[in-house]
Every structure is written in structure tokens, then in C-alpha cells.
Amino acid sequence: MIGKFITLEGMDGAGKSTHIPNIIALLQAQGHEVVSTREPGGTPLGERLRDLLLHETMHVETETLLMFAARREHIANVIAPALARGAYVLSDRFTDATYAYQHGAKGVDIKKIEALENWVHEDLQPNVTLLFDVPVEVSMRRLASARQPDKFERESHEFFHKIRQAYLLRAALNPSRYRVIDANQPLEVVNKSVETIIATL
């Protein structure tokens, strides 16, 4: 892996997507080619699966399998080729999101997710993961004033609490990879935190 793989994580409403243009600009200013993408999605097939995942009711294990199906396509067609040519890949979510949503909030056996992770991308992990963290109340307030919510964004307070706790646990278990950002601060303060992290890559 010649390039670097940067992922952005956080529950819905944490504001991570707001910072993507700034991160792209910072990396390009360092002279890097930047490939910005998202999960689920990132490829034509992945985007079709995204629409199903965000709007169709399905068994949670079906949901998990489709997440990894989209991810396999994403890695093969976007992430791996970009890293191989030395680009910086910036992905809005990756496998940590599956641990947070499908395991943490929906109860899928963690061993099943680990098995899928090992199958789909055994040798690929992000170089750094930026976790945008906010209290659940802040997340839900932001979502209430946003666009038409998808099925995940319509979930309960308890659902979001479980996601937040799962993310914070992932961060605690992977301290060398994770950078936890307090996203419940003024935008300029959060931007400064992001800039400091990007400057050290």
C-alpha cells in the first residue's frame, strides 16, 4: 500500500461529511492525489446497494452481508487501485461503521463481522480514522432539521447511544489508528482539530 487510507466515522448527525471538502483541500495542498468516496456506495453497484440498505427493511444479517458485498466491490474497484498508485483515499465510513451499527446497535454477532472483515479485506486497514463524536442529543437535534431521514436516521435515542458507545470502544481498542474529535464545538474549532491531524499524516 503506497498511498494512505483515511476514514471518517461517527453516528449520523455528527457532522463528519461537512469536513470532507476541507480535508481534501488540505491533502491536495500537501501535493497528494485525493480520492474521496463513501460507504455504502463508492461504485455504481455499491450505490445501488446503498439505496437498498438505507431504505429497505431487511434482516439485520442480510444488511450486514450487503454492506460487505458493497465493500468488496468498493475495495476492488476504487480503494485498492488508488492506494496502489500512491493516492490518498478519503472514505466517509468503512468497516468500523459495521461494527458500530450492525453489531453495536443491532446485535449481530461480532465473530460474524470479524469473519467477513477477514475475508473481504484481511490485509487492508485505514492508516488513520477520524471519529467525529457528539452527544446523542446533539446528533438527533441536527438530524431533526436535516433532509428527509433514511431508515437509520429515524432510529431511537437508545439506538444512537449504542452506536456512540460502540465507536468509542473501537477507538479505545485501536488508539494508534483513531483520532477522536469533539465535534460538539464551533465549526472553526473542529476545523482546527482536523487540520492538526492532517498535518501529521
Write out pLDDT tens, residues 34-75.
Answer: 999 999 999 999 999 999 999 999 999 999 999 999 999 999
Q: Please list, in sequence order, all residues whose beta carbon lies within 8 angstroms of the beta carbon of residue 55, skipping any fewer than 6 positions away.
A: 150, 151
Residues 39/91, Cβ–Cβ less than 8 Å: yes
- Bond before 40 cis per omega within 30 degrees: yes
| Whether residue 96 has pLDDT greater than 70 | yes
The one-character DSSP state at 16 is G
- What is the pTM for the complete model shown? 0.93
Question: Where do the structural domains in the chain lie, given as residue ranges?
Answer: 4-199
- Assigned CATH topology for domain 4-199: Rossmann fold (3.40.50)
Helix pair 187-199, 20-29: axis angle to 10 deg? 40
Tens digit of pLDDT for each residue in 21-37? 999 999 999 999 999 99
Q: Which of 191, 133, 136 is nearest to 167 (CA)?
A: 133
The one-character DSSP state at 10 is -
Residues 117/61, Cβ–Cβ less than 8 Å: no
Q: What is the mean pLDDT of residues 106-111?
A: 98
Residue 149 and residue 166: Cα distance in Å, rounded?
22
> pLDDT value at position 144?
75
